[in-house]
Amino acid sequence: MISTASTVGAYLRDLPPDRRVAMARLCSMIRRSARGVRESMRYGLAFYELDGPLFALESGRRHMSLYVAEKDVVLKHKDALTGVNAAKSFIKFSDLNRLPLDVVEKIVRDSVAARRQRVAQGAVPTQAELLKLWDINEEAAAPPAKTVKLAIGKQAIMTDAINAMAHSMRDAMVAAIDIATGSIGTGNGQSALSAKPAKKTKTKAAPSKAAKKGAKRALSAKRPPPKRPAKKSAPAARRR
């Protein structure tokens, strides 16, 4: 299965624990021993480039592989290693403990020196030549296109649903009121629910009997008592 990881770190994290440790140690050794290489993920492999592809690492189903672009360097150290495919210029191994890391480090250093010499001579192999050497099918190794999903906030979805429900309920209430009152509109395009209510005129309530009696008592209390006329004195008796 072709890895879809975009970085070597992500590629290593997806590997089983035993493979992850072995591949991570090789990646670290290449970065340390081959100064100036550029690390990237290409064709489902961890690529290391120096004026073109120089190394590649792959975790297969049954074994791991270290691809070396400088074929003459691999042939030089062939006798010190097992699992070397001289025709395809890669080294197979299933266990890191069985791989002599000191020999692999020499291959890495010698490959960097050989590549710099090729650059000076203008004889650097092309990428197509190396893919053919390593028996890598460029089209088959291309990772599948990633599907991008647009994230929609749950809060926005809930807000839209609530607003739609509120509008539906309001429209239903308006329709029910119009049917009950027999009015479709108020003459200016507004429904009975949305129309402004008419201003109420205040009317004075008629005073009750008790209030009338109380008012009379208050009026009588305020009025001064009527003046009584003075008594006329009896006429004096005439003297005889």
For residue 179, give both structure tokens.
């049917």
What is the per-residue DSSP string for 199-225? PPPP-PPPPPHHHHHHHHHHHHHHSPP
The neighbour count for residue 169, using CB atoms within 10 Å, is 10
CA distance 237 to 212: 55
Q: Is 174 exposed, middle or buried (0-12, 13-18, 19+ CB in 10 A)?
A: middle
Contact 22, 30 (CB under 8 A): no
Contact 5, 11 (CB under 8 A): yes
CA distance 205 to 4: 87
What DSSP element (H or E) covers 56? Answer: strand 53-59
CA distance 15 to 78: 28
**CA trace torsion 122, 125, 128, 129 (10° rounding):** 140
- pLDDT (tens, 9 = 90+) of the chain, 240 residues, equals 567 888 999 999 999 998 999 999 999 999 999 989 999 998 889 999 999 999 999 998 889 999 999 999 999 999 999 899 988 999 999 988 889 999 999 999 999 999 999 999 999 988 889 889 998 877 655 554 554 555 545 555 566 767 777 777 777 776 767 676 665 544 444 444 444 555 555 555 556 666 666 666 666 555 565 666 555 555 554 544
- Domain boundaries 8-139, corresponding CATH code: 3.90.1150.200
**CA trace torsion 37, 33, 80, 25 (10° rounding):** -90
**CA trace torsion 213, 216, 217, 220 (10° rounding):** -160
Q: What angle do CA 149, 16, 88 make, to 5 degrees?
A: 95
Strands 64-68 and 90-93, bridge-based pairing: antiparallel
74-129 per-position pLDDT tens digit: 999 999 998 999 889 999 999 888 899 999 999 999 999 999 999 999 999 888 89
